[in-house]
Structure 1
């Protein structure tokens, strides 16, 4: 796995490395700065223009401010969301394995900024190395000086807990995560059904308390911003991008892996400079951006900047930063059918439109891919793309539609060829 080191993965750690080594390399400095003026942390995050890196790209400071302004409840919660499970996305597991102390420090900085006393690390249970590294790191923080400093600055004891997730893809959705965590904290277990919104987690989250939910990569950026300043962070990016981004590069490339690069790096540089180009020197056909639940990019998009605004202008999304590269010669109908099958299997079944819609899409795509499809099947898929968006409690069904719509836009001729 290739890693380009800038600031997220520095200082690097290995599983079981002692906290002292991390501190000697500068770890904990941001927390010592923040305890003197906790309110300054939120201001720094706002000035830095840090976005949510779990897929939404939502400005982090807005979530933080909403939770910070809630004062009625005695407890507030922070959920550190590490339920990474989408095909092609493997950045958070690397952070958890390599630098768990940095993530813990980022979580404590968020807690200080928002008045949070309960921190829950919610991790995909299949990431066994990540769980082991984080568990060992948390044990080193308990009863330590830095945790006491943070608790004293907050004025109440900060409790940190590790909760393995449910092994369900849908469990990464923020309200589904809260549902699962509530069951585990009370000694039971609930299926991670997404909840309707509003109310939003900032107002009514875990046990009805204000709850902040941030992705692991998002939290990993916080210490560097507090330590070096918002201007420093913004200058790390290219164009309209701020900071750095972990791009998960996979598929038909010579050097797949995780690359930490300036936010706004072009697709061309990611694939051909850092990824070494395509296997066997084949031409590029397409790229699934942000995992398969987003839109496709084509060779015409090679010079697009991989940041939230630039991709949004092209009708796409950066998502998690996963880039699944497809070379010429790969059938797109088959690939789309495979991903649609994954999402149909992952639907929790709570919303009829999602349960039946994703299953129908998957079934029709399989028919077309195997030469049994009809023009009526293709027409039905197009109708579902118009009907289904926004019909579920979460965004799973929207992701399937984005994938399908984008494949129609760029590769409709392959669907028509499959029908023949």
Structure 2
């Protein structure tokens, strides 16, 4: 597809949209589908037909609109109205209100910080387009980055634009994306591979799933640009099989992109070829680690291997391989079309752009949010999140999943960026953010995450396989009030051992929830010692 053809399709789709006086958007992300939003869509479509309004009103499925606490959500455009907790029975009342007074019973106030404090980039199309129609993605500027990169830029220029953006990988470690791309581009090899890591395994995390369900073509577009930049001809999306809706929409998107010449052979009538296949994971958390992921993609058991060599030098089939996660690729189209400097203006000096978070736990406005790097935890929790429900107080915020740490309420004004979170003993991770209130005990929280890491350990190395089990059992002694000062000392020593001797990131980061809770909530461990041991901590 050429640029002229892309523009023609864009104009055609926009003209089609403009003929409708009202467009009704029904969220069909996993969260809303679990509350029967597909039935709501069917009811709207039937009601429109029964009223003879097919030429004036259109009801369509869209992706996540963010405020999951209010789902299922329905949006009325161009009025900008949002309705919460919709049911099929409410459809006639909403239809009656079109063009008149809104149906106030279910109306969401959009003039609240949850909406206006966010800055949408990755999620700019979520809730606005049908994720199963490539035409709607193209109508909002989709695939313009592919056309621009292939027709106006060299691979080196694409990589330089990513360098200029300052973007760091959104998968957890925060490695500079431009640097990773340049390493793969410079690596010797006739065959190169590209992998999109959609193996989202953190408890409470649903960022990647929502992006794939809401805007799959955006991820494909980012992958095509990346493949062109590094010289890859084969790509894989490694997605967990527990994401059936994301898988369905990815399969549809791949077929549509291939049909229009935006994926596959001679993309955009150029010599560039790039194919994408799906690989379904069985849900092993360890497969989020790069070497384990590549092993699983290759059809082998998903266990990690020592590094070096790194994937950039020797990955799939011993060939140079680029691995980025879903959100990283979803940021690429904007960087190419609007420029790296545009992206770099957002965020902090060392943490550029926006970040998507799954805001969950003891918070009023649970859901999917996108905020500029450098925003404070206080702004996220009390402005966007609406605060703690039921009159309780904030106790801590857990970021980074099982590999992260718990940040106490006294650090609410800390900024959310890679360096600040690391200084507080936590990490950005892929974007899970769990809010903990004053009803929770931090020893219990630490044991919850340790149980997860223990069960998800692949068992390949002894420090992780045995160490996480020992840590879990030690925390059980604290929970039962049977721990001594010796157990406290042993807990700290074992955390250090597991952290520094495990083979991969799972084991190396598994003790983090314990380390952070010992740092900030030590008294809760002391309170659980045997009564005769509570007078002091000194161990000879």
Hey, what does 1:53 align to over in structure 2?
170
Hey, what does 1:187 align to over in structure 2?
none
Cα shift at 1:299: 1.5
Mean Cα deviation higher: 312-321 or 379-388: 312-321
Distance between the aligned counterparts of 2:157 and 2:475, measured in 1?
Answer: 52
* 1:166–1:180 contact (8 Å) kept in structure 2: no
Hey, what does 1:9 align to over in structure 2?
123
Distance between the aligned counterparts of 1:114 and 1:59, measured in 2?
Answer: 15
Task: Provide Cα deviations, 1:205-263, integer angstroms capped at 9, x if missing partner.
Answer: 00101000001000000000000011111123256531111011111101111101111
Sort the Cα spacing of 1:215 and 1:296 in 2 relative to 1 into closer, same or farther, 3 A: same
* 1:340–1:400 contact (8 Å) kept in structure 2: yes
Cα shift at 1:156: 4.8
Distance between the aligned counterparts of 2:282 and 2:368, measured in 1?
Answer: 25
Distance between the aligned counterparts of 2:121 and 2:253, measured in 1?
Answer: 20
Structure 2: gaps spanning 5 or more residues: 1-65, 68-114, 531-540
Cα shift at 1:311: 2.3
RMSD: 1.7
Distance between the aligned counterparts of 1:313 and 1:336, measured in 2?
Answer: 19
Cα shift at 1:118: 0.5
Do residues 84 (structure 1) and 194 (structure 2) align? no
Corresponding residue to 2:141 among 26, 33, 37: 26
Do residues 200 (structure 1) and 310 (structure 2) align? yes
**Could you tell me the TM-score, scaled by structure 2's length?**
0.74
SS of the equivalent of 1:120 reads strand
Corresponding residue to 1:138 among 230, 254, 267: 254
Sort the Cα spacing of 1:196 and 1:15 in 2 relative to 1 into closer, same or farther, 3 A: farther
* 1:90–1:248 contact (8 Å) kept in structure 2: yes
Cα shift at 1:58: 0.7
Hey, what does 2:52 align to over in structure 1?
none
Do residues 292 (structure 1) and 402 (structure 2) align? yes
Corresponding residue to 2:477 among 367, 371, 385: 367
Task: Provide Cα deviations, 1:113-147, integer angstroms capped at 9, x if missing partner.
Answer: 10010110100111111111111111111242222
Pairing 1:105-120 to 2, within 5 Å after superposition = 105-120=221-236
* 1:151–1:158 contact (8 Å) kept in structure 2: no
SS of the equivalent of 1:119 reads strand
Corresponding residue to 2:422 among 312, 319, 326: 312
Do residues 377 (structure 1) and 494 (structure 2) align? no
* 1:15–1:97 contact (8 Å) kept in structure 2: no
SS of the equivalent of 1:200 reads coil
Hey, what does 1:211 align to over in structure 2?
321
Corresponding residue to 1:123 among 231, 239, 257: 239
Hey, what does 2:96 align to over in structure 1?
none
Corresponding residue to 1:62 among 179, 196, 202: 179
SS of the equivalent of 1:389 reads helix
Cα shift at 1:100: 0.1
Which is greater in Rg? 2
Hey, what does 2:280 align to over in structure 1?
164
* 2:173–2:429 contact (8 Å) kept in structure 1: yes
* 1:77–1:118 contact (8 Å) kept in structure 2: yes
* 2:184–2:313 contact (8 Å) kept in structure 1: yes
Hey, what does 1:328 align to over in structure 2?
438
Distance between the aligned counterparts of 1:218 and 1:346, measured in 2?
Answer: 25
Do residues 224 (structure 1) and 334 (structure 2) align? yes
**Could you tell me the TM-score, scaled by structure 1's length?**
0.94
Q: Kindly indicate whether structure 1 or structure 2 has the higher relative contact order, using CA contacts under 8 Å at least 6 residues apart.
A: 1
Distance between the aligned counterparts of 1:240 and 1:110, measured in 2?
Answer: 22
Runs of 4+ in structure 1 deviating by more than 4 angstroms, as ranges, are 13-16
Sort the Cα spacing of 1:376 and 1:151 in 2 relative to 1 into closer, same or farther, 3 A: farther
Distance between the aligned counterparts of 2:303 and 2:158, measured in 1?
Answer: 33
Distance between the aligned counterparts of 2:497 and 2:419, measured in 1?
Answer: 27
